[in-house]
Each structure stands twice: as C-alpha cells, then as structure tokens.
C-alpha cells in the first residue's frame, strides 16, 4: 500500500456520508477474513471507493471466501441480510442460492472473464420467505497488485417487477387469444356493445344465428336485431348495465336478417376497462326455438293425455251407469260391465300400437269378435283395408261388442246352426258396414230393443252416419254407414289447467228440472246416453242428443229450449259458434269438457263448466243452477 493510501485509511477512510461508508468505517475489520483496512491492498481500497461512489447496485466479493462489501444502492436488494452480510463470507448470507451463485463467482476468479446475463433468475430468502427473482448481471474480475484475480465486482439491476409484468402481459395476451378463439368458434352468439347500444364485436355464432357478417353489423345499433314491439327492452337493458347489473337467462325474441322472429335466451354482463369503469356490455345469445317447441309439444301432449284420460273415465262412468240401470242382477251387471270395459281396453291396445294415429278395421272386427267362447268358424268377415281414426275406432268397437254380445245371448250365436257375416266396403268417402245374422233365431229376440241398439244408433249418429236394424225370419241385420274417419283428437291450446269456477250456493226454494226442455250436444255416444238418462230421471225433457255443430245450430234455431249441455269440443273442433247461438237465443248452458277452462271459446271463460268425468248429481246441480241464474236475471230485469 502506498504512503498516500495509508494516510487516507488512517484519516477516516472511506470518506463520505452514506450509510455504507459509515458502516465500513465503523466495522471491526480485524475480526473479519479481510483483516484491518490498513492491511488491505491498494486495488481493494480503490475498488471500494469506486463502488461507494457509484449510483448503481454493486456488491464486491473479495478473496477466496468471497467476503462481501456493497454500496448504499445495493443494500435494499438483499433485504434482511443487510447489514449482517457486510464483511462476511458470502456463503454465510447467500446460503439458499450458494449452489447457483458460487459457480458464477468461481468461473470469474478462474478465467478472469466477465459473466453477463439478462433477467437471470435466482432464488433468494431476503425477507423471511423464499422468492424467485430476476436480475440483469455483470460479474467482472478485480485483479490484485500483481495481476491475479482477487475479487469479483457484481453490478446488478433487479428486473423482477418488469419480468413479472411482461410474463403477466404474455399470459394475458395468450388468455385473450384463447378466449377470442373460444368466442369466435362458440355455437352461441357472443356480441359486445357500448353504452350507446352500438355493436363493437360479433362472433361466428352470431353470424350463424342472425345471418349478418361482422362487417355488416359492427358500428350499427343493436336495435336492428330487436323486433319493433320489443324495442323498450334495450332501454331497460342499458340502464341495468350502467348500474353494473348482470342479466342472466333473459328469454325474449329477436329478428334475423331475413326478417324471421325467433326465441332466444340472453345473458348480459357489464364490460369494464382496466380502471373498473363500465364501458359496455357483453351479450351471450342462444337460440331456444327448438327447446320452446319441445316444451310446447310436451305441454300439448300432457294436455292431450289429460283430455283422453278424462274422456275415457267419462265413458267408463257412463258404461257403468247405463249397465247398472239395465242390469237384472248383480251377476248380470258384472258380466255386462266387464265385457264392455274389456272391449274398450282391446281397442285402446290397437290404437296404442300406432301411437293413437289409427286402427285397421279388419283387425278391429276380428279383435272384437273374439268374444267368450265364439266359434270362429261361425263368424265370417271380409272387406278392404280401412284405417279408422281414433274416435271412430272407439265407437265402432263398442258397436261391434254390443252386436256380438246380443248375437251370443239372443241371436244367431245363441243357437247351434247360427252364423254371423260382417262385410264392409268404401265408396264416396263413406264406410258401409253390414252385420248379418242367419240361422234359427229364438222368438224372444223379435222386436227387442235395449241399451245395445240405442248405443249402436247413437254411436253412428255421433260419427255423422247412421245405423238401421232389421229383423226378419232369417235373422237380425244391421246396416251401418259412417263417413271416413278424421283425427278425433286435435291439439288443444295448452297452458296451466284452470279448475272450474265454483258455482254459487243455491237459494231456497231450489228450481227443478221438471218439464224443462234441455238440448244435449255431445259427440261421445255413451256420455250422451248417460246425460239423457240423468236429465230424464230429474223430470227434464231431452229435446235431442246432437253430435255435430250443424245439427246443433239447426236445433237451436228451430226448437224452444230452456237449457243446453254443451261439449267443449266436438270431433276435435271448437264450439264457439254453438255457444254464441245459444247466447243469442237466451238459452243458458253448461260446458262439459275433458280439457281445462282455458280451452273454452273466447268470451266464455267464466261460463259454467263440468270437467269430465263428473257425477250425475254434479250434472243435475249445474243444470238446475242455470235456471236459478236465469230466473234471477229475469227478476232483475222486471225490477
């Protein structure tokens, strides 16, 4: 060491007011591997002075133990390691990264070559926990007085914040690219708009759904997609977006490029900038036309099933009551009722095989004639293939059952040599069915008319046809003519089924049906017969049993009527015209229906309604109340 350097060291070296200059002056260097400062080589003295004066982060590792010296700028870089690291071998304070740091320092000492790296990663525990940090580094050799490498000067610059930011930016860009790809390829329409409702983005899903390309819609108002009667929706949506509210699964309608309107489900969310300010909205739209159609179909099917079940129950109820009225004993009732229900069940099975679309007449005839112990050799059937609609099939099945039953009990099949021939043909859209019995017929059959004959005639009439019986010495013959079948179960207007409104309590004295002229309008023959018997038992006069709208309108115009019982649906057709005609004629009436109140004619939603099946007492009560209401109205008018 030269005399001048020795003097500087003795006079309070190193000079300067910085923290590290002060710490170097005050440290007991004699207790360190470097020894007292007055024994340091001049190269070390000069290097420390340069380091302390520098404005960059520098740490100097000196000697074979890499004793650390560093400046004020570097001190914060090592956190809690400062100030303990000053004057100590590096391994003591950089132990957690020594396997990484030591090879770098050793390579500089051995080769004298500078090591430079950008964003060099290190693992360090400087604040009580481990961190992965990044530095730009330049490690250079510092020679001693004879030219050997004595130390390593490390100039560093921590870049952890920048590296993390750049990595986050790259990840964000990658995520944005992935999101953009997802958005662009999504089957859903994903559209962005600003707070003025102007479209700012448009994916391929939107193009498929609406029919517009991105170039055709970006920059234009979103209202171009909204039907005119729903424009107010956009005002409300924008107001909610400005309040930061999210709209989830909003079902509405939108317009395609071709002008067609479709059902859509929208999820609408606010879009914010980096500062959290709401700058627009993102809309995700999904075409729910098929789902809505499926829901409507499901509701329709449920309504249809409900209607069929109620009509079937009403028919069963009518069969039970009609059979009971005519039964000679409990055994006779059980036998007759069981046979009729089994006949109904068999035709239901036939219709079920075609999902209630139709039943083939030949199968129906053969099925209904397999009754009890009938010898099939004594029954002959022939005719072309004819597909019958469900209602026609049901009615014809009951007719055939009654014919077969009567033939077994009283007719040709009750004697050994009797035979039955069933033939049918089609011409001019009419089905002609002929039932012929031949053989020795017991005398007791001659002139006999009962429930079976009445049912056959009414069933044919209910189908818009006719049935005629002839009795001759050769046997019984029936000629049945029916229009070719049409679907008897149309789709009703669907919706939640309302319960019939409760009828008001009857005041005393209670009106009666004695002598009241009542018209029955019902397309189900069994139900019509049961209605007739119930009304007749209460003293009413049944003017007619009608199964078609034209016949009903003629009766309303030509006959004096006191009341009517009106089926809510005749052969799958509405009864609005009949209800209106009865109202114009001041004839009170009660609806009977297997559907709910919502299927009643427009303007008659509050009319009296009996849901099928219903009891005889319910029918009599509802019909009696018609006269109570009418008499009350007349009394008010007289006042």
Burial 66-98 (b: 16+ CB within 10 A, else e): bbbbbbbbbbebbeebbeebbbbbbeebbeebe
**Cα separation of 294 and 411, whole Å?**
52
> What beta strand segments (E) does 295-406 contain?
359-360, 379-382, 387-388
The sign of the torsion formed by the CA atoms of 592, 595, 596, 598 equals negative
Closest C-alpha among 413, 450, 443 to residue 328: 450
**Claim to verify: residue 572 and residue 611 sit in the same structural domain:** yes
**Chain position carrying tokens 């007292």:** 36
**What is the tens place of the pLDDT at every residue in 2-15?**
555 666 666 689 99
Closest C-alpha among 544, 604, 541 to residue 578: 604
298 lies in a domain?
A: no
307 lies in a domain?
A: no
- As a whole number, mean pLDDT of residues 94-114 equals 97
444 lies in a domain?
A: yes
**Claim to verify: residue 93 and residue 199 sit in the same structural domain:** no
Residue 444 banded pLDDT, cuts 50, 70, 90 = low
**Cα separation of 270 and 278, whole Å?**
6
**Claim to verify: residue 156 and residue 196 sit in the same structural domain:** no
213 lies in a domain?
A: yes
* Final residue belonging to a domain, choices 232, 267, 287: 287
- Is the distance from CB of 210 to CB of 218 less than 8 angstroms? no
Residue 488 has pLDDT above 50, yes or no: no
**Lowest-pLDDT range, 28-42, 499-513, 623-637?**
499-513
Residue 413 banded pLDDT, cuts 50, 70, 90 = confident
Residue 522 banded pLDDT, cuts 50, 70, 90 = very high
**Claim to verify: residue 117 and residue 203 sit in the same structural domain:** no
The number of domains in the chain is 4
**Cα separation of 302 and 600, whole Å?**
17
Burial 170-190 (b: 16+ CB within 10 A, else e): eeeeeeeeeeeeebeeeebbb
**Claim to verify: residue 190 and residue 110 sit in the same structural domain:** no
Q: What is the predicted pLDDT for the residue at 105?
A: 98
Q: What is the predicted pLDDT for the residue at 2?
A: 57
**Cα separation of 203 and 189, whole Å?**
6
- Report phi then psi at 435, rounded to 5: -110, 120
**How confident is the prediction for the chain on average, in pLDDT?**
86
474 lies in a domain?
A: yes
Residue 447 has pLDDT above 70, yes or no: no
**Claim to verify: residue 23 and residue 121 sit in the same structural domain:** yes
Peptide bond before 83: cis, by omega within 30 degrees of 0? Answer: yes
**Cα separation of 193 and 175, whole Å?**
21
Q: What is the predicted pLDDT for the residue at 258?
A: 95
Q: Which helix (H) or strand (E) holds 250?
A: strand 247-255
**Claim to verify: residue 272 and residue 334 sit in the same structural domain:** no
Burial 388-412 (b: 16+ CB within 10 A, else e): bbbbbbbbbbbbbbbbbbbbbebbb
**Claim to verify: residue 445 and residue 564 sit in the same structural domain:** no
- As a whole number, mean pLDDT of residues 282-304 equals 84
Percentage, residues of the chain above pLDDT 90: 56
DSSP three-state, residue 118: strand
**Chain position carrying tokens 């009977």:** 592
* Final residue belonging to a domain, choices 163, 178, 200: 163
**Claim to verify: residue 569 and residue 615 sit in the same structural domain:** yes
pTM of the model: 0.46
User: Tell me, what CATH number does 540's domain have?
Assistant: 3.40.50.2300
310 lies in a domain?
A: no
- As a whole number, mean pLDDT of residues 410-439 equals 90
- Is the distance from CB of 304 to CB of 491 less than 8 angstroms? yes
- Report phi then psi at 235, rounded to 5: -60, -45
List the domain range (segments joined by +) for residue 354: 328-483
Pairing, β 430-438 against β 475-483: antiparallel
Q: List C-alpha distances in Å: 635 to 250, 504, 631, 632.
A: 54, 18, 6, 5
Write out the two tokens for 297: 């179909």
Closest C-alpha among 371, 391, 386 to residue 432: 386
421 contacts: CB under 8 Å, gap ≥ 6:
379, 380, 381, 434, 435, 436, 438
531 lies in a domain?
A: yes
Write out the two tokens for 207: 């193009």
- Residues paired with 155 in a beta bridge: 58, 138
**Claim to verify: residue 372 and residue 466 sit in the same structural domain:** yes
180 lies in a domain?
A: no
Q: Of residues 572 and 109, which shows the higher confidence score? A: 109
- Residues paired with 611 in a beta bridge: 593
Peptide bond before 307: cis, by omega within 30 degrees of 0? Answer: no
State the helix-helix crossing angle for 361-368 and 330-352, rounded to 10 degrees: 150
Q: What is the predicted pLDDT for the residue at 487?
A: 36
Pairing, β 430-438 against β 199-202: unpaired
User: Tell me, what CATH number does 412's domain have?
Assistant: 3.30.565.10
Angle at 290 between CA 288 and CA 291, to 5 degrees: 65
Write out the two tokens for 213: 């390309």
């Amino acid at each position: 060491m030269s005399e001048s350097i020795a003097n500087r060291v003795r006079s309070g070296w190193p000079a300067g007011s910085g923290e590290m200059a002060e710490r170097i002056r005050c440290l007991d260097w004699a207790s360190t591997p470097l020894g007292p400062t007055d024994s340091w080589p001049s190269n070390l003295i000069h290097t420390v002075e340069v380091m302390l004066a520098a404005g960059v982060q520098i740490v100097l590792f000196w000697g074979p133990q890499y004793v650390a010296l560093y400046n004020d700028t570097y001190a914060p870089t090592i956190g809690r390691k400062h100030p303990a690291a000053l004057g100590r071998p590096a391994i003591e304070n950089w132990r957690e990264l020594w396997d990484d740091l030591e090879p770098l320092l050793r390579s500089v000492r051995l080769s004298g070559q500078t090591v430079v790296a950008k964003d060099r990663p290190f693992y360090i525990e400087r604040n009580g926990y481990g961190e992965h940090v990044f530095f730009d580094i330049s490690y250079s050799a510092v020679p001693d007085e004879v030219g050997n490498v004595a130390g390593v000067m490390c100039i560093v610059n921590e870049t952890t914040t920048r590296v993390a930011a750049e990595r986050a930016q790259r990840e964000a860009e990658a995520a944005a690219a992935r999101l953009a790809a997802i958005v662009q390829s999504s089957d859903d329409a994903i559209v962005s708009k600003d707070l003025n409702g102007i479209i700012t983005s448009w994916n391929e899903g939107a193009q498929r759904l609406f029919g517009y390309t991105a170039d055709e819609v970006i920059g234009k108002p979103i209202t171009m997609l909204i039907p005119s009667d729903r424009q107010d929706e956009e005002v409300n949506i924008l107001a909610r977006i400005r309040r930061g509210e999210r709209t989830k699964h909003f079902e509405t309608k939108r317009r395609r490029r071709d002008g067609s309107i479709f059902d859509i489900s929208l999820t609408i969310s606010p879009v914010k900038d980096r500062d959290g300010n709401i700058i627009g909205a993102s809309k995700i739209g999904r075409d729910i036309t098929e789902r809505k159609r499926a829901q409507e179909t499901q509701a329709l099917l449920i309504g249809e099933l409900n209607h069929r079940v109620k009509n079937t129950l009403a028919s069963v109820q009518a069969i039970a009551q009609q059979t009971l009225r005519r039964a000679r004993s409990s055994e006779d009732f059980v036998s007759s009722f069981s046979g009729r229900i089994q006949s109904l069940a068999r035709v239901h099975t036939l219709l079920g095989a075609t999902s209630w679309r139709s039943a083939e007449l030949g199968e129906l005839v053969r099925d209904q004639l397999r009754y009890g112990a009938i010898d099939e050799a004594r029954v002959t059937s022939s005719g072309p293939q004819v597909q019958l609609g469900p209602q026609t099939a049901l009615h014809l099945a009951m007719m055939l059952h009654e014919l077969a039953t009567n033939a077994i009990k009283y007719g040709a099949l009750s004697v050994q040599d009797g035979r039955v021939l069933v033939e049918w043909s089609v011409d001019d859209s009419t089905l002609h069915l002929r039932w012929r019995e031949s053989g020795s017929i017991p005398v007791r059959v001659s002139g006999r008319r009962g429930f079976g004959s009445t049912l056959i005639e009414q069933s044919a009439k209910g189908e818009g046809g006719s049935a005629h019986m002839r009795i001759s010495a050769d046997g019984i013959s029936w000629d049945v003519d029916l229009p070719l079948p049409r679907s008897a179960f149309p789709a009703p207007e669907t919706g939640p089924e309302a319960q019939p409104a409760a009828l008001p309590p009857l005041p005393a004295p209670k009106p009666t049906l004695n002598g009241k002229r009542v018209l029955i309008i019902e397309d189900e023959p069994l139900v019509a017969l049961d209605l007739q018997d119930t009304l007749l038992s209460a003293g009413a006069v049944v003017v007619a049993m009608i199964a078609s709208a034209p016949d009903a309108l003629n009766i309303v115009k030509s006959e004096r009527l006191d009341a009517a019982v009106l089926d809510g649906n005749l052969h799958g057709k509405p009864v609005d015209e009949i209800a209106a005609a009865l109202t114009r004629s001041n004839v009170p009436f009660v609806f009977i229906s297997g559907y709910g109140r919502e299927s009643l004619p427009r303007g008659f939603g509050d009319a009296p309604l009996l849901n099928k099946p219903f009891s005889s007492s319910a029918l009599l009560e509802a019909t009696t109340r018609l006269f109570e209401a009418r008499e009350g109205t007349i009394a008010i008018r007289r006042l």
